[in-house]
């Protein structure tokens, strides 16, 4: 299918998506373009639909940008170490956090010694060694 063969409305949808990069259905509607024109462009291979947005089928999808927003921002043990993407702990610091948690659970350290960031709390809730007893003791 050639771009020159598109109807005027399909062409408008095509140009808009190509110009904008990635376009959601809501964005299309907001500029008065009907989603069905974009869908027919997907059907003929001019646009790609990734479940969230339309883009130029010729262009590669950007490499998973979302990971950046999910970065923890640092080691979950609370030491402040900066980590490479996708890493939760600096080397050996998962054990350090585990030991801190046990100390609190045994009453040997104050609860305030544990990092209270949402990322750490989320990790602790699903930690492989977490037990109902420890959870209760540290107030999770």
Among residues 60 and 86, whose Cβ is nearest to Zn ion?
A: 86
Interacting span for Zn ion (CB under 5 A) from 11-19, 29-37, 74-82, 100-108: 74-82
Q: What is the dihedral of CA 111, 116, 120, 123, to 10 degrees?
A: 60
Q: Does 85 bind Zn ion (CB under 5 A)?
A: no
- The piece of 4-12, 20-28, 87-95, 123-131 that touches Zn ion (CB under 5 A) is 87-95
HSE-up of residue 133 (Cα within 13 Å, Cβ side): 5
Q: Which of 22, 42, 57, 90 binds Zn ion (CB under 5 A)?
A: 90
Between CA 110 and CA 57 the distance in angstroms is: 56
Binding of Zn ion by 28 (CB under 5 A): no
Nearer to Zn ion, 42 or 81 (CB): 81
Q: Which of 75, 138 has the CB closer to Zn ion?
A: 75
Q: What is the largest CA-CA distance in the chain?
A: 75
Q: Name residues contacting Zn ion, limited to 92-111 (CB under 5 A).
A: 93
32 to 61, contacts with Zn ion by CB under 5 A? none
Q: Is 140 in the site for Zn ion (CB under 5 A)?
A: no
| Number of other residues whose CB lies within 10 A of the CB of residue 30 | 10
- State the burial class of residue 119 (Cβ atoms within 10 Å of its Cβ: 0-12, 13-18, 19+): middle
By C-alpha distance, which of 7, 14, 21 is closest to 46? Answer: 14
User: Which segment (1-9, 64-72, 88-96, 114-122) binds Zn ion by CB under 5 A?
Assistant: 88-96
């Amino acid at each position: 299918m050639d771009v020159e063969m598109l109807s005027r409305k399909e062409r408008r949808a095509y140009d808009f998506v190509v110009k904008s990069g990635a376009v959601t259905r809501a964005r299309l509607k907001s500029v008065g373009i009907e989603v069905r024109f974009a869908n027919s462009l997907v059907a003929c291979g001019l646009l790609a639909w990734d479940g969230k947005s339309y883009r130029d089928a010729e262009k590669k999808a950007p490499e998973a940008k979302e990971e950046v927003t999910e970065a923890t921002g640092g080691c979950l043990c609370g030491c402040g170490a900066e980590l490479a993407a996708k890493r939760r702990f600096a080397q050996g610091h998962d054990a350090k956090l585990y030991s801190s948690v046990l100390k609190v659970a045994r009453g040997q350290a104050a609860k305030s010694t544990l990092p209270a960031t949402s990322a750490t709390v989320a990790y602790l809730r699903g930690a492989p060694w977490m037990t109902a007893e420890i959870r209760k003791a540290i107030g999770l």
